[in-house]
Chain A
Amino acid sequence: MKKLNLLLISILFTIVSIAQEKFTISGNITTAESGEELIGATVAVKSLGTGVSANVYGFYSLTLPKGTYHVTYSFIGYDEQVKRVELTSNQKIDMELSEAVNEIDEVVIEAEGAEQNVKSIEMSVNKIDAKDIKKIPALLGEADVIKSVLLLPGVSTVGEGSTGFNVRGGGIDQNLVLLDEAPVYNSSHLFGFFSVFNPDAVKNVKLVKGGIAPEYGGRLSSILDVRMKEGNSKKFTGTGGLGVIFSRLALEGPINDKTSFIVAGRRSYADVLAKPFLNEDLRGSRFYFYDLTAKINHRINENNRIFLSGYFGRDVFGSGFAFNWGNATATARWNHIFNQKLFMNVTAFYSDYDYSFGLDDNDPNDDFNWSSSIVSGSLKPDFTYYLNNKNTIKFGGQIIYYDFKPAEASFASDGQTSSLSLPEKYGNESGIYAQNEQKIGARLSVLYGARVSHFRYEGDREQEYFEGEAGLRKEVKSETLNESTLYKANIFGWRPSYRNYKSETNYTNFEPRLAINFSLTETSSLKGSFNRMTQYLHLISNTVASTPVDLWLPTTNNIKPQIADQVAIGYFKNFKQNKYEASAEVYYKDFQNQIDYIDNADIFFNTQLEGDLLTGDGRAYGLELYVKKNQGKLTGWISYTIARTERQVNGINRDEWYPTRFDRAHNLSVVSSYELTEKWSFSANFVYSSGTPATFPTNRYEIQGVVLPHNDQDARNNYRIPDYHRLDISATLTPKKNKDRKFNGEWVFSVYNVYNRRNPFSIFFEQDDADPRVTNAVRFSVIGNFVPAVSYNFNF
């Protein structure tokens, strides 16, 4: 009996001590100047050695036992704030942080945000602040988000003129590029020379290359999460610039004390400027691009906030024959705080990516037009539950509905018209996920969870192909039409219709994710991660650089989902009180169902395209070294990657492993910025990468007077073109800020490719003009000279 009582009492004590009261402080962290949310700002209680980071909406939640604490709010580049909190009940504490003023005489600012490199569970992540983007000298003086991302470890391209980028050995379609949660299919204007993101409107850019958390899915190699500003909620301001190729203007401000907006636009005007100089027949030619972002956000009450945004961008080029492509997205988001611990964001977006080309002469009797588009709509609820200060749980899901119109062509000849289209395809992609980020003991944090993804293909028909000889075009064995139901509506005269196809083709994939952070010392840690990713959308392109008219196709009964497994391990260390951050990471990736093409594949307008596709395995591995200096007059980073990426596809290269087109063994970027005085600052960057692989012939033969190349080993990518290296510099002149004047400006002088190197994009072979018997190897360079530019940036 006594033993039982003792037991009961001790149980009671345990319950009481467990039930020691805990309360939660939560709120939003914003900047004092503009009211923008500070993504990733830290809230820490040093005496307990505990803390949390604000999420992408600036919201944080920290649960502590009852007591009195000094809570420190900080973010890199901002003055930290310490608040004394007597915690006897749940409290809402919003905090505004002010930008740190840069003193010329090197006062070291304790920015605790910098220790995230070591402390955060995230590995294989690089973040770029909007200010860093503007400091990097760029082509024609136009600061660019994607060009800055290219300077990070693990990221490369095949050269100027490529519309996308490659991360850790993945193709350009394996990056999920998000603009405020909505995906962007083609992130560039003008063939990759400029990205679609207006740097004046960008707040924060995060690139996740590995250790990808379960909340992200849909692409194999990376997530580029671009967040635009919400709009200054304190005062009306404007920023803009005049450049050589295009100009930009961004206006933002409060509408009332609960609402703010931002509108940012850019347009190129090479065509307007050139018009008076063109001769008459060229006057009708058009070449321009523009993009416009418009956002408005409204705080309904303490617990509810809504955001509406739209992005529209377009490129038009042509004279007599025009190309036209663009993205348009409309997004609506709702933040809802259920209680101090449970935060929810629901995003709904609509996106329309279309591209077309055709004759531009308005003659209905002789005409030609081809167009393609992807329209998608999605709903995405995400929840974050701050269980306690050792566990943060996230769960949610996404459903995306796709409508692919792979090709529609119409043409008229001598008055007779005809039209042809590839059948429309639909797809339904969905996913649900759950994850927990848990602190175990003093040194270990683990993020574990999984995503379950599903794709249903709903096309009007399913084709089956004969197996045939590997590497040759497969012929169609059968084509089955799917049953469908047509739904129609009549809404005050608007009659939308939607045909739902019944299809048996669907795939489900389980994607486990794990990330571990083990603290070695206060300033160093060891991190490891594993992730499995699945991708249901595929970019079909067999050209060296992708063209804007490359085709996006969904997974079908013939094209299986792509899968990648990645393991990464890294060592992270900060030096000199977070003045320097450094990391070394090693990764290995295994790919399945990678798409390649038969020799002489017919990609353009082929109703039996799937017969020209081949699939195989891929593998990529590498070492990434990175060191960054955050403070002082001289700032910048050095990143060096040594890596390999290859494929094995039956029917190509005699069934042996071959390097992919974007395999670059060495990749070095040195980025630096020096603030000489308040007036003058200078930047320079240097990049070096190994040459890309190319397929070269071994023999020649003649047919009908034409000399043809032949490779007697049927090899693919058997050679490498010469290396790529380039130096860019820029100088920024900021005249003294006159406190009374609202309008401020700065001049930026830049030179791209300073020492004039003709970096080879490709090497091709052709018959000599003078003597057709002679063949020449020709090196093609996209930019062959140095390119100077002047631009003027202003704000008011």
Chain B
Amino acid sequence: MKYILFALIAAVTFSSCEDIIELDLDNGKNQLVVDGFVNNDSSIQTIRLTSSAPYFSNVATPADNDANIRLIGPNNTTYNFISDGNGNYEYDPNTLGAIDSIGFNYKLEIDYKGNTYTSSSILNPVPVIDSMPYAFEPSGFGTEEGYYTQFYARDFGGRKDYYWIKPFRNGEPVYEDPTFIILSEDATFVGDSGDGLVFIVPFRAIITDQSNPFVLGDTSAVELHSLNESAYQFLDQLVNSSGNDGLFAVPPSNIRSNIFDAAGNPQDEVLGLFSLSAISKFEVIIE
């Protein structure tokens, strides 16, 4: 919303500008990065390990294949993640079953270069999506004509929930920009008072791209992922740091990881996130 305001001012009054410039930055040390988003689906679960690199290295950060990764579930079941040689450590739910004990606090352990890193996450429940109605809309202010879908789901009352809403069009994400991450606290933007409500309009409608709505024959789908608080904070900070520009930028700051060195040495700090979600899905074909 700050961005909209600024755009208005700029349009009305002067032309502000943004120019790409050359900068020389100091290079810091490289650290282990864990991209660990795991869910209760029956598809293959992947945790990716890479290493951080100097800021302007401008290539994919190098993968790291030297680790042992495992997830500990109920009754001490150990789910091992096996490296594919390219930094992607995979677990196939067909072997020991899906990671789906709602309410259980799963533990992650990573052995890397003589250190063990741990994290934990409770698998939070996710509400069922009731329906996805759609309708044809003519073009309007900032919107194109086409089919607009919405999804209806009700947040669980009496508890604080965090969700990641992922909309799809024909199997691909609706929004190409990976920094466009849709997060909600209960059913709204703001805390407690969204508790127990149906997801509010901005979230229901965001699953359709207003500049490119659906046409006949498209499949509109949505995945609702439950998140725990540290994953929500991480993703929220990730979104803020990507859109952090213009008049109202906040000082950039490091995003804290929820994965810790078991021995507690600060120089062996790890970056990234371990997040465990339950998913509910719904899809509809426009016809």
B198 contacts A695, C-beta separation under 8 Å: no
B245 contacts A776, C-beta separation under 8 Å: no
Task: Please measure, in the bound complex, the distance between the C-alpha atom of A547 and the C-alpha atom of B249, giving whole angstroms.
Answer: 10
User: Knowing A543-B248, A780-B245 touch, does A695 contact B253 (C-beta < 8 A)?
Assistant: yes
The interface residues of chain A lying within 8 Å CB-to-CB of B35 are 702-704
Say if the beta carbon of A599 comes within 8 Å of chain B.
yes
A703 contacts B254, C-beta separation under 8 Å: no
Task: Please measure, in the bound complex, the distance between the C-alpha atom of A780 and the C-alpha atom of B10, giving whole angstroms.
Answer: 12
- What are the interface flags for A236-254 relative to B under an 8 Å C-beta threshold, 1 for contact and 0 otherwise? 0000000001000000000
Task: Please measure, in the bound complex, the distance between the C-alpha atom of A409 and the C-alpha atom of B200, giving whole angstroms.
Answer: 15
Say if the beta carbon of B187 comes within 8 Å of chain A.
yes
B55 contacts A709, C-beta separation under 8 Å: yes
B16 contacts A411, C-beta separation under 8 Å: no
B194 contacts A418, C-beta separation under 8 Å: yes
Of listed B58, B237, B248, B251, residue having the most chain A CB within 10 A: B251
B12 contacts A274, C-beta separation under 8 Å: yes
A716 contacts B251, C-beta separation under 8 Å: yes
The interface residues of chain B lying within 8 Å CB-to-CB of A320 are 141
A773 contacts B271, C-beta separation under 8 Å: no
The residues in B between 22 and 49 inclusive whose CB is less than 8 angstroms from any CB of A are 22-23, 25-31, 33, 35, 37
The interface residues of chain B lying within 8 Å CB-to-CB of A778 are 18-21, 245
Task: Give B37's nearest chain A residue, CB to CB.
Answer: A704
- What are the interface flags for B145-186 relative to A under an 8 Å C-beta threshold, 1 for contact and 0 otherwise? 000000000000000000000000000000000110100000
Say if the beta carbon of A696 comes within 8 Å of chain B.
yes
The interface residues of chain A lying within 8 Å CB-to-CB of B8 are 285, 287, 317-319
User: Knowing A411-B200, A600-B253, A703-B35 touch, does A773 contact B58 (C-beta < 8 A)?
Assistant: yes
B13 contacts A702, C-beta separation under 8 Å: no
- What are the interface flags for A769-788 relative to B under an 8 Å C-beta threshold, 1 for contact and 0 otherwise? 00011111111111111010
User: Knowing A543-B250, A701-B272 touch, does A779 contact B19 (C-beta < 8 A)?
Assistant: yes
- What are the interface flags for A542-577 relative to B under an 8 Å C-beta threshold, 1 for contact and 0 otherwise? 111101000000000000000000000000000000
Say if the beta carbon of A193 comes within 8 Å of chain B.
yes
B52 contacts A699, C-beta separation under 8 Å: yes
The interface residues of chain B lying within 8 Å CB-to-CB of A787 are 14
Q: Which of B4, B28, B199 contacts A699 (CB 8 A)?
A: B28
Tally A residues with Cβ within 8 Å of B. 82
The residues in B between 50 and 72 inclusive whose CB is less than 8 angstroms from any CB of A are 50-61
Say if the beta carbon of B252 comes within 8 Å of chain A.
yes
Say if the beta carbon of A761 comes within 8 Å of chain B.
yes
Q: Which of B30, B51, B238 contacts A706 (CB 8 A)?
A: B238
A600 contacts B240, C-beta separation under 8 Å: yes
Task: Please measure, in the bound complex, the distance between the C-alpha atom of A767 and the C-alpha atom of B197, giving whole angstroms.
Answer: 36
A779 contacts B55, C-beta separation under 8 Å: no
Task: Give A713's nearest chain B residue, CB to CB.
Answer: B28
User: Knowing A416-B197, A782-B16 touch, does A712 contact B21 (C-beta < 8 A)?
Assistant: no
The interface residues of chain A lying within 8 Å CB-to-CB of B178 are 704-706, 772
User: Knowing A600-B255, A783-B16 touch, does A413 contact B198 (C-beta < 8 A)?
Assistant: yes
The interface residues of chain A lying within 8 Å CB-to-CB of B271 are 701, 710
Tell me the smallest distance from the CB of B26 to a CB of chain A, in Å: 5
Say if the beta carbon of A419 comes within 8 Å of chain B.
yes
Task: Please measure, in the bound complex, the distance between the C-alpha atom of A780 and the C-alpha atom of B57, giving whole angstroms.
Answer: 22
A695 contacts B193, C-beta separation under 8 Å: no
- What are the interface flags for A412-450 relative to B under an 8 Å C-beta threshold, 1 for contact and 0 otherwise? 011010111000000000000000000000000000000
Say if the beta carbon of B86 comes within 8 Å of chain A.
no
The interface residues of chain B lying within 8 Å CB-to-CB of A772 are 178
User: Knowing A418-B193, A600-B255, A704-B178 touch, does A544 contact B20 (C-beta < 8 A)?
Assistant: no
A282 contacts B141, C-beta separation under 8 Å: yes
Say if the beta carbon of A711 comes within 8 Å of chain B.
yes
5 closest A-B pairs by beta carbon, nearest first, are A281-B141, A712-B28, A698-B28, A599-B253, A413-B200
Task: Please measure, in the bound complex, the distance between the C-alpha atom of A767 and the C-alpha atom of B15, giving whole angstroms.
Answer: 23
The interface residues of chain A lying within 8 Å CB-to-CB of B197 are 413-414, 416, 418
A773 contacts B55, C-beta separation under 8 Å: no
Task: Please measure, in the bound complex, the distance between the C-alpha atom of A413 and the C-alpha atom of B249, giving whole angstroms.
Answer: 30
The interface residues of chain B lying within 8 Å CB-to-CB of A419 are 193
A698 contacts B20, C-beta separation under 8 Å: no
Task: Please measure, in the bound complex, the distance between the C-alpha atom of A763 and the C-alpha atom of B22, giving whole angstroms.
Answer: 11
Tally B residues with Cβ within 8 Å of A. 80
The interface residues of chain B lying within 8 Å CB-to-CB of A599 are 253-254, 256
Task: Please measure, in the bound complex, the distance between the C-alpha atom of A545 and the C-alpha atom of B16, giving whole angstroms.
Answer: 15
A702 contacts B50, C-beta separation under 8 Å: yes
How many contacts A-B (CB < 8 Å)?
230
The residues in B between 83 and 130 inclusive whose CB is less than 8 angstroms from any CB of A are none
Say if the beta carbon of A124 comes within 8 Å of chain B.
no
Tell me the smallest distance from the CB of A694 to a CB of chain B, in Å: 8
A711 contacts B254, C-beta separation under 8 Å: yes
Q: Which of A287, A702, A716 contacts B61 (CB 8 A)?
A: A702
The interface residues of chain B lying within 8 Å CB-to-CB of A547 are 2, 247-248
Say if the beta carbon of B5 comes within 8 Å of chain A.
yes
Of listed A697, A763, A779, residue having the most chain B CB within 10 A: A697
The interface residues of chain B lying within 8 Å CB-to-CB of A287 are 8, 12
The interface residues of chain B lying within 8 Å CB-to-CB of A712 are 28-29, 31
The interface residues of chain A lying within 8 Å CB-to-CB of B187 are 413
Q: Which of B21, B56, B57, B255 contacts A763 (CB 8 A)?
A: B21
Say if the beta carbon of A323 comes within 8 Å of chain B.
yes
The interface residues of chain A lying within 8 Å CB-to-CB of B248 are 543-545, 547
Task: Please measure, in the bound complex, the distance between the C-alpha atom of A409 and the C-alpha atom of B28, giving whole angstroms.
Answer: 43
The interface residues of chain A lying within 8 Å CB-to-CB of B133 are none
The interface residues of chain A lying within 8 Å CB-to-CB of B28 are 698-699, 710-713
Say if the beta carbon of B228 comes within 8 Å of chain A.
no
A699 contacts B56, C-beta separation under 8 Å: no
Q: Which of B5, B17, B29, B181 contacts A784 (CB 8 A)?
A: B17
B250 contacts A699, C-beta separation under 8 Å: no
The interface residues of chain A lying within 8 Å CB-to-CB of B181 are 704
The interface residues of chain A lying within 8 Å CB-to-CB of B250 are 542-544
Tell me the smallest distance from the CB of A9 to a CB of chain B, in Å: 79
The interface residues of chain A lying within 8 Å CB-to-CB of B246 are 762, 780
Tell me the smallest distance from the CB of A469 to a CB of chain B, in Å: 11
- What are the interface flags for A313-332 relative to B under an 8 Å C-beta threshold, 1 for contact and 0 otherwise? 00001111101000000000
The interface residues of chain A lying within 8 Å CB-to-CB of B55 are 697-700, 709, 765, 775
B254 contacts A714, C-beta separation under 8 Å: yes
The interface residues of chain B lying within 8 Å CB-to-CB of A319 are 8
Say if the beta carbon of B263 comes within 8 Å of chain A.
no
Task: Please measure, in the bound complex, the distance between the C-alpha atom of A782 and the C-alpha atom of B6, giving whole angstroms.
Answer: 10
Task: Please measure, in the bound complex, the distance between the C-alpha atom of A323 and the C-alpha atom of B187, giving whole angstroms.
Answer: 24
A544 contacts B247, C-beta separation under 8 Å: yes
Of listed B5, B51, B56, B193, residue having the most chain A CB within 10 A: B5
B60 contacts A703, C-beta separation under 8 Å: no
Say if the beta carbon of A132 comes within 8 Å of chain B.
no
User: Knowing A413-B188, A698-B25 touch, does A545 contact B247 (C-beta < 8 A)?
Assistant: yes
Q: Can you spell out 5 A-B residue pairs with CB atoms less than 8 angstroms apart?
A: A280-B141, A321-B4, A413-B200, A545-B248, A766-B242
Say if the beta carbon of A270 comes within 8 Å of chain B.
yes
Task: Please measure, in the bound complex, the distance between the C-alpha atom of A414 and the C-alpha atom of B237, giving whole angstroms.
Answer: 29
Task: Please measure, in the bound complex, the distance between the C-alpha atom of A544 and the C-alpha atom of B251, giving whole angstroms.
Answer: 7
Task: Please measure, in the bound complex, the distance between the C-alpha atom of A698 and the C-alpha atom of B198, giving whole angstroms.
Answer: 43
Say if the beta carbon of B264 comes within 8 Å of chain A.
no
